[in-house]
Amino acid sequence: MPNMNPKKMPMPEQDPNVRNKNFDEVTLGYTPEMAVEEAQRCLNCKHKPCISGCPVQVKIPEFIALVAESKFLEAAAKIKETSALPAVCGRVCPQETQCEQKCVRGIKGEPVAIGRLERFVADYAREHGEEKPVQPAANGHKCAIVGAGPAGLTCAGDLARMGYQVTVFEALHTAGGVLMYGIPEFRLPKAIVQKEIDTLKDLGVEFVLNFVVGRSETIDELFADGYEAIFVGSGAGLPTFIGVPGENANGVYSANEYLTRINLMKAYRDGADTPILHAHKVAVVGGGNVAMDAARCAKRMGAEEVYIVYRRSEKELPARLEEIHHAKEEGIIFKFLTAPLEITADENYNVTGMKCQQMELGEPDESGRRRPVPVPGSEFTLDLDCVIAAIGTSPNPLIRTTTPGLDTNRKGCIVADEEHGITSKDGVFAGGDAVTGAATVILAMGAGKRAAAAMDEYIKNKK
């Protein structure tokens, strides 16, 4: 008899007023007992609607059934059949719009906590001696991966398992992409990401860090070095600024810079070499996961007042529900239907505030969401010493400007077919944010996975 509790088993968390002063993980994960109890809520539906909501088709009812039987290692193996980074996805997937949205238990109550179970299983396997992978026999072919984000890592892992000699070229001094430099420690502990990278190294994947493709070497030069197929997973790292006066004042950051200083450069630690502004009153402009992360970091860096300034209403916030909920609990103040007009600064060019304007929702725009329009005479000013722009990113121009024959669209995204990641340039495959623009971890992983299969096909057919 399934557990008919309409609510998900809650996951233990740090107290909001404690956690908003530290960088330790917010949510603490299920105990085995909690996981089993939650797993018993699954009805093991025959037509498996949940799977259709998952971009990589994790075998959800099957792994959950194993959890219900306390076969946690077997459950982990089941997930790993289709997903490379479950410890990551269990934590950061927007489950409410993917797998859990399709769960039948969600019709009358809360859906099964698929994400939390996935995380539990992956953590359990990591902590209870998951076996080291054995390096497969080499097939004598070389592939290169550009960028060590989730797309590149997934592609590298799959190719390595097929026996390819894989080299990952990464511009930064650390592999992991956004998982390392963007998403904060309190949401995704870096040790978990590092563990996944170490697993790839055990599989024989070579990482060349501090290597900027397009500068250190071009794609064509990598082909000349003997790589037979190349996957570009270079992400969408170029920040967009707000486009209002005063934007270059001291104290205005892109979310990328603010988060990089904190996550990658550890500026939150006392005595860190990389400096960061310890602001008192911070406004983060934007409403996605990036904005929530920046706001919650600012709070943890000691800011007394942190605002999220978003030009639409709460309903349109693109961030994961859990992040919005956590941000509110931690004391982040939401200013909905608010748009920035100007950032003001003192004579030393330090930020003093931001002029804003109230908005109301008008007719739907091309994205189908109602377009915010200004309310006349509604201007007001927030007193601030820091403004963080979290309104989006686009692909960096480095690769497209140094790779003749590689087509990109007008947004600068690489043009690649969704099924295989095939680009306009022979032997070059692409996926993840570099193709879609800023999206999600699981979509990037799915693209990396499909491209690996296509690259294998390509190399086999070449001879």
Please give the residues from 18 up to 57 whose contact with another protein meets the rule CB under 8 A. none
If the CB atoms of residues 111 and 340 are measured against another protein, the closer one turns out to be: 340
Given 26, 34, 35, 60, the residue binding ligand SF4 (CB under 6 A): 60
Least distance between another protein and beta carbon 199 (Å): 22
Pick from ligand FAD, ligand SF4, another protein, none: which does 261 bind, CB < 5 to 8 A by kind?
another protein
Dist CA 214 CA 78 (whole Å): 39
Type of residue at 134: V
Which residues 6+ apart lie within 8 Å of 437 measured at CB? 236, 393, 394, 395, 411, 413
Residue with tokens 């931690």: 330
Locate 119 and state its tokens. Answer: 């995380």
If the CB atoms of residues 258 and 307 are measured against another protein, the closer one turns out to be: 258
If the CB atoms of residues 55 and 287 are measured against ligand SF4, the closer one turns out to be: 55
Verify binding: residue 346, another protein, rule CB under 8 A: no
Least distance between ligand SF4 and beta carbon 114 (Å): 5
Pick from another protein, ligand SF4, ligand FAD, none: which does 99 bind, CB < 5 to 8 A by kind?
ligand SF4
Which residues 6+ apart lie within 8 Å of 395 measured at CB? 234, 235, 236, 237, 238, 408, 411, 412, 413, 414, 433, 434, 437
If the CB atoms of residues 162 and 265 are measured against another protein, the closer one turns out to be: 265
Identify whether the C-beta of residue 343 lies closer than 8 Å to the C-beta of residue 351: yes
Tell me the site size for ligand FAD, rule CB under 6 A.
41
Given 19, 23, 75, 95, the residue binding ligand SF4 (CB under 6 A): 95
Verify binding: residue 411, another protein, rule CB under 8 A: no
Type of residue at 295: A
Verify binding: residue 171, ligand FAD, rule CB under 6 A: yes
Q: Per-residue x/- mask for ligand SF4, residues 31 to 50, rule CB under 6 A?
A: -----------xxxx--xxx
Verify binding: residue 86, ligand FAD, rule CB under 6 A: no
Verify binding: residue 320, ligand FAD, rule CB under 6 A: yes
Which residues 6+ apart lie within 8 Å of 238 measured at CB? 393, 394, 395, 396, 397, 412
Least distance between another protein and beta carbon 269 (Å): 8
Q: List the one residue out of 459, 454, 445, 458 whose CA is nearest residue 179.
A: 445
Half-sphere exposure of 99 (CA within 13 A, CB side): 26
Please give the residues from 152 up to 171 whose contact with another protein meets the rule CB under 8 A. 171
Q: Nearest 5 degrees, angle CA 116-CA 68-CA 65?
A: 90
Q: Tell whether the torsion through CA atoms of 125, 102, 432 and 447 is positive or negative.
A: positive
Dist CA 300 CA 414 (whole Å): 37
Least distance between ligand SF4 and beta carbon 163 (Å): 26
Pick from ligand FAD, another protein, ligand SF4, none: which does 241 bind, CB < 5 to 8 A by kind?
another protein
Dist CA 224 CA 283 (whole Å): 48
Identify whether the C-beta of residue 421 lies closer than 8 Å to the C-beta of residue 453: no
Identify whether the C-beta of residue 212 lies closer than 8 Å to the C-beta of residue 171: yes
Identify whether the C-beta of residue 102 lies closer than 8 Å to the C-beta of residue 53: yes
Q: Nearest 5 degrees, angle CA 43-CA 442-CA 366?
A: 100
Least distance between ligand FAD and beta carbon 148 (Å): 5
Least distance between another protein and beta carbon 173 (Å): 4
Locate 410 and state its tokens. Answer: 């007008």
Verify binding: residue 56, ligand FAD, rule CB under 6 A: no
Please give the residues from 247 up to 286 whose contact with another protein meets the rule CB under 8 A. 247-248, 250-251, 253-254, 256-257, 260-261, 265-266, 271-275, 277
State the residues that interact with ligand SF4 by CB under 6 A.
Answer: 42-45, 48-50, 54, 56, 58, 60-61, 83, 89-90, 93, 95, 98-99, 103-105, 112, 114-115, 118, 442
Interacting residues toward another protein by CB under 8 A: 171-173, 209-212, 215-217, 237-239, 241, 247-248, 250-251, 253-254, 256-257, 260-261, 265-266, 271-275, 277, 348-349, 396-398
Q: Which residues bind ligand FAD (CB under 6 A)?
A: 92-93, 146-152, 169-172, 177-178, 182-183, 212-214, 233-235, 237, 259, 289-290, 293, 320, 396, 398-399, 432-434, 438-442, 444
